[in-house]
Structure 1
């Protein structure tokens, strides 16, 4: 494409992360033409700076812990984790931050790709500033899908921007472990990176402003992760209010109510903000810097040609939920382009119902925290009649085989009127693998009476399902 060429597509997608890729793939499979516009790496945050590298950093520690928890196998663990090899494996999983493989997939899927910085320029129009300084003007016949995601938010703490803090990007791509790492924020990123870098040799101090970790999860989850971090030697400080930051030579100094803390790097993990500041939303009457307000088909309210998909709408800031939204939005775009009726009721092919009722999530700490649907607090706030059932996972036969001294908890939130599951949380080693069954039960609103017939194989950790049902029956 020359610097002055204009081109029209059925769908123009801003952002070629996993969300944008899936929107484009669905509409192309539906018979429409699509172009992806990306300024950085095709594949986005998850592939290079979030899910994939962070879990690669954590996996070695997890594997060693699993081996050490089994008498006999533990004797084979005679050394410490190879930090250089762990980082090398992380680099391989991110393909060395090279997106050639992702570009090849895009081309093979019949999707066009334009490199450059994209801005809306009024209705259905996107102007791209390319790396060579030229511009391209793209017009959408049917839809512009904004899939620009989110970025780390840096809180308004005096001096914090000046110390060049790590965000999750730097935390997952660092080439070596800092000797002392200060972590601000006790959510999933702060907890996961505290585990990861402590295991790789850093002295970690975790500062959480609130009085517990993982505040959006069941309290038992935060308590278990807190105990585990402290057992490993991570200095976790709850109720910590960071008031100022500065650099002295090669040190980062944080000022808190309790005094000063010094480290070599500081990771800020206190939340995200929408990447809508520089994408021209003001040209269509929207306020830059805010999450896009969308309906359940991911259509921006008041702009029937525009879709906000993934993190950019603030509904559920998780990679798998962005991909889910992309599939739903893509289906809605194709249906509308064909003049077909779009089903807007819950659980239709065109709506992101799971955003509200059945979002699965895993925190890859040790213990892991896997959850789906409503927590007990959310059920209470919603006013739904419910009952909470708990059972120790370590009591089932499969858990005693999986690890000596297995400790964990399963928590079920049950709708007492309909007798269906509203939510489940599992806390314990390797519980992420229990989550899909729980998600199916919540999405399918499987009656408790029918779940009695879903017999768990013996001896597996999945026997926890039977024990929860027995606890429910009393």
Structure 2
């Protein structure tokens, strides 16, 4: 293999997903040159195998469900989604897994692109193994930013790896709908894919080790989603441990243990949705004296290595696309400032710091019902030793919700700091509830006192009127 090159750029970014793109764009806008290295598709996991295709799969069923909940519209609904058309629409959203448009955007933004696999080979030195079998040695004048994302974890269960399981990539890029689908994992991916494939006609069995779904959110959120899945025909099995998996000519056999003993389920495919881990393998971290766990400060600069940044999922702070892009903007701004010899303060309101990762991470779960959450749960706030009080309200009692859907059911909860009277966390469950989250995010980040929120008047009749009802309830 021949190593050629000697190319120099101000910043080299490894990984051309949304996070890497934002790092590169920010530094170029700041007057630096940037090269981005990508071994797969420019646009990354979110664009082709995660956020975009998964929501494209979920939306048609949600639209039909909305219509069924309104008298006068329900009678017009005939049957479920057309699976072929849903898959075709999904494929259109991912441009048939072509990144031509994304490559065009890089070019328009003045960002150089190199195809290949990158690894660190020295201080500010990156070697790229190109697709033609050669290699290029690159030098970064100021910084190298790792934005390689995360990968699905396949648990060490006897026979599971050999059974050729689906991961989230296989589910979101599926070309056909299996008659029977088993899903291992009760987190966001498991619940969303159970929702999508049940609507498309699969008989879905969802297996979760814990006592509830969505364990990182408020318990009532997981309970509502479990009820919704069961109503959609999903066989939800909680407190179950997979002991063995085997694939034969008839499909996949999965052995389980739960409180009632040992049992076996059969499926055509098994989707593993048991978590993700940072994609650090093969990056040459040992060159910088690092292991696979990357500790970073709030500017995403790696501890002890002043020229190396780890941004997005790869740093394991908040494995969400929007948080990764937020980190990327902060990291890019910090790189530009440091390159100019300017001081970089990392306080709460600093443009160089991703401080919201600690206390104000929003998340939307596109199940039926939807879940929107941001900030701390009640349990997390109490564990942190904060003075906690909570406020809850039945979303179905809000006029806008009642108009939106007949028999609307849902729930809203605020976790409050009882001494400062500010919001620490918020959770909303119900149809379109994810759209309520950003208002809560602003309130948490801005530390807006409840007395000030009384002057943020929600429009009538919208579901957002729940904010007024929560404030009224907060008075006791």
Same fold (TM over 0.5): yes
CA shift at 1:3, angstroms? 6.5
Indicate if the aligned counterparts of 2:38 and 2:115 stay in contact, CA closer than 8 A.
Answer: yes
Alignment of 1:4-403 (within 5 A): 4-257=4-257, 258-287=262-291, 290-403=292-405
Please give the alpha-carbon distance, in whole angstroms, between the structure 2 residues aligned to 1:183 and 1:291: 28
SS of the counterpart of 1:432?
helix
SS of the counterpart of 2:113?
strand
Please give the alpha-carbon distance, in whole angstroms, between the structure 2 residues aligned to 1:60 and 1:40: 29
CA shift at 1:122, angstroms? 1.5
CA shift at 1:6, angstroms? 1.7
CA shift at 1:169, angstroms? 0.2
Q: Deviations over 1:157-184 (max 9, x none)?
A: 0111100100000010000111110000
Please give the alpha-carbon distance, in whole angstroms, between the structure 1 residues aligned to 2:313 and 2:250: 35
Please give the alpha-carbon distance, in whole angstroms, between the structure 2 residues aligned to 1:466 and 1:415: 18
Please give the alpha-carbon distance, in whole angstroms, between the structure 1 residues aligned to 2:425 and 2:320: 18
- 2:418 matched residue in structure 1: 416
Gaps of 5+ in 1: none
CA shift at 1:194, angstroms? 0.2
Q: Does 1:438 align with 2:440?
A: yes
Please give the alpha-carbon distance, in whole angstroms, between the structure 2 residues aligned to 1:218 and 1:80: 31
Please give the alpha-carbon distance, in whole angstroms, between the structure 2 residues aligned to 1:189 and 1:45: 14
Q: Deviations over 1:340-392 (max 9, x none)?
A: 11011122101111100100000100000001111101101100001011000
Please give the alpha-carbon distance, in whole angstroms, between the structure 1 residues aligned to 2:381 and 2:129: 47
SS of the counterpart of 2:207?
strand
Q: Deviations over 1:97-133 (max 9, x none)?
A: 0000000000100000000010110210000000001
Q: Deviations over 1:170-215 (max 9, x none)?
A: 0100001111100000000000000000110111000000100000
Indicate if the aligned counterparts of 2:80 and 2:199 stay in contact, CA closer than 8 A.
Answer: no
Please give the alpha-carbon distance, in whole angstroms, between the structure 2 residues aligned to 1:367 and 1:471: 23
CA shift at 1:78, angstroms? 2.2
Root-mean-square deviation over aligned CA pairs: 0.9
Please give the alpha-carbon distance, in whole angstroms, between the structure 1 residues aligned to 2:353 and 2:5: 36
SS of the counterpart of 1:450?
helix
- 1:452 matched residue in structure 2: 454
CA shift at 1:408, angstroms? 0.3
Please give the alpha-carbon distance, in whole angstroms, between the structure 2 residues aligned to 1:79 and 1:180: 19
Please give the alpha-carbon distance, in whole angstroms, between the structure 1 residues aligned to 2:80 and 2:310: 46
Please give the alpha-carbon distance, in whole angstroms, between the structure 2 residues aligned to 1:356 and 1:96: 37
SS of the counterpart of 2:297?
coil
Q: Deviating runs (4+, > 3 A) in structure 1?
A: none
Gaps of 5+ in 2: none
Q: Deviations over 1:412-444 (max 9, x none)?
A: 001111111111100000011111111111111
